[in-house]
Amino acid sequence: MTRELKYLGDRVARGMMDRRAFMGRAAALGVSAGMANTILAGAVQAAGAMKGGILRAGLQGGESTNSLDPATWASSVPIEFGRTWAEPLVDVSPKGEIEFRIAESVEASPDAKVWTFKIRKGVEFHNGKAVTPEDVVATLRRHSDKNSKSGALGIVKGITDMKADGDYVVLTLDQANADLPYLMADYHLMIQPGGGIDKPDAGIGTGPYKVAENQPGVRHVGTRFENYWDAGNRGHADRVEVVVINDATARLSALQSGQVDMINRVEPKVVKLVKRIPGVSVRNVSGRGHYVFVMHVNTAPFDNNHLRLALKLAINRKEMVDKILQGYGSVGNDFPINAAYPLFPDDIPQREYDPEKAAFHYKKSGHSGSILLRTSDVAFPGAVDAAQLFQQSAKAAGITLDIKREPGDGYWSEVWNKKPFAASYWSGRPVQDQMYSTAYLSTADWNDTRFFRPDFDKIIIEARGELDPVKRKALYREAAIMVRNEGGLIAPMFNDFIDATNDKVGGWVNDPNGEQMNSMALAKCWRKA
């Protein structure tokens, strides 16, 4: 049946058959309209796709401590390999829209508190079982268990009730949240048979590839799953491989010598040279990740807003983008949102380097003596250099920064979110609400600027339940201005994701959601003949 549908889909894609005829034939084959539409879209999008061959990725971010349990995923390799063998309810498309996967459609109650996902029929796990709404509920339940160690615990804990109802899964939230579908696209929330409760790291999912080899920190191999429900769209190669290459030079030479077809995290300083290698393309896209310095607004001397403003004005953002990112990025504006987000408030003036104004605010703050800034290589690539640039530009405003270089080992547990002024990195989130809820609400788990403002919380919670995009955008603008002018975040730059591929890779689409096409490069690309 699938083969016939695919054949028909290809005919539509080549203009040999019209859409209505296709839908009619599909209905005759007993396929729902939703499924038929997805198949058609896939066929049209992947019209140039080629089947077969091996696709290899050499990636940084894999350790011998990795596991196939999606709840534990935190680095590039398990996530990208995970995207080849498992799928969540929905994905976020490169354009920032919801793309339905295990769920076929979703509806919200008018108060955005009750969300009903229709679960797609005919989707099969690698163990031969069909996906049921019960599997979905069990998966969400596993991740939201209070005792769970899931990285998605913070995302799903607002769900007060979840139940399967026929073909549907109904989620009830404690607060209205217009972004719930985006939260369900989190890479931890991979649908597993029985929720993966019995054996979380079994590696059984619904993705286009089956786990064939799993050697954490070394190599992972997937072979094509013949019964994949969306074969027109994904899973073009016969076999995908992820090789863990944590050394930047080794990664590049593996790409250059053709041992891998794509790599992540090309260092900005070598991009110019990489561009000259024949047969290699650099794929860079501006993302939502940002390199920052965070101040605790409740700790002296950073509890004085004049001092915070002085520091924000004393940083040279353009210089940072040029020297730290080699131009592969964009300047920040001291709030954690950029144009890659839906509903970005684009009319807030850009804060510029202004040593005179900085000196003015510094004087008003009444502070004297030096200020200690902690940094480390692991905070973000070039964080030590960035701190030194900051030191120089602040000096021109009469502000003395002392720089302390902390060991990379233990930086995230001992320095970041503990010390009052430190370099840090945020990888960004698919929607604004999630970014603010993660780090700026009073109740946020990682409020790394100690921003406790009830008036700010009110705006974010109101925006969260607001289904009207115009009103929502206005609310987010207000929130952004508040963080920009009164918060503890100094956001000098947003970094690009820089990947590289050889010329055998087809179907690459830049995706601002994350590196490697939001970790879906192996699942979506194909190998050219």
Please list, in sequence order, all residues whose beta carbon lies within 8 angstroms of the beta carbon of residue 456, skipping any fewer than 6 positions away: 440, 441, 442, 479, 482, 483
Is residue 265 a contact point for another protein (CB under 8 A)? no
Is residue 174 a contact point for another protein (CB under 8 A)? no
Is residue 58 a contact point for another protein (CB under 8 A)? yes
Alpha-carbon distance of 519 to 521, in angstroms, equals 6
Q: Which is nearer to another protein, 168 or 380 (CB)?
A: 380
Burial of 237-257, coded b for 16+ CB within 10 Å and e otherwise, reads bebbbbbbbbebeebbebbbe
Which listed residue (244, 387, 460, 520) binds another protein by CB under 8 A? 244
Alpha-carbon distance of 337 to 330, in angstroms, equals 12
Is residue 158 a contact point for another protein (CB under 8 A)? no
Q: CB 423 → another protein: shortest distance, Å?
A: 13
Is residue 20 a contact point for another protein (CB under 8 A)? no
- Give the 3-state secondary structure of residue 463: helix
Residues 519, 187 contacting (CB under 8 angstroms): yes
Is residue 380 a contact point for another protein (CB under 8 A)? no
Of 13-21, 202-210, 254-262, 342-350: span binding another protein (CB under 8 A)? 254-262
Alpha-carbon distance of 94 to 286, in angstroms, equals 12
Is residue 93 a contact point for another protein (CB under 8 A)? no
Is residue 253 a contact point for another protein (CB under 8 A)? yes
How do beta strands 98-100 and 209-215 pair?
unpaired
Q: CB 152 → another protein: shortest distance, Å?
A: 10
Alpha-carbon distance of 189 to 169, in angstroms, equals 14
Is residue 413 a contact point for another protein (CB under 8 A)? yes
From the list 382, 367, 348, the residue with the least C-alpha distance to 309 is 367
Residues 8, 22 contacting (CB under 8 angstroms): yes
| Residue matched to tokens 């509806």 | 107
CA 213 distance to own-chain centroid: 26
Q: CB 347 → another protein: shortest distance, Å?
A: 31
Which listed residue (24, 48, 217, 327) binds another protein by CB under 8 A? 217
CA 145 distance to own-chain centroid: 23
Of 7-15, 238-246, 292-300, 511-519: span binding another protein (CB under 8 A)? 238-246
Which listed residue (254, 266, 325, 435) binds another protein by CB under 8 A? 254
Is residue 215 a contact point for another protein (CB under 8 A)? yes
Which listed residue (14, 95, 149, 318) binds another protein by CB under 8 A? 149
Q: CB 424 → another protein: shortest distance, Å?
A: 8
Binding region for another protein (CB under 8 A): 58, 63-67, 72, 74-75, 146-151, 153-154, 201, 213, 215-219, 243-247, 249-250, 253-254, 256-260, 407, 409-410, 412-414, 416, 425, 445-446
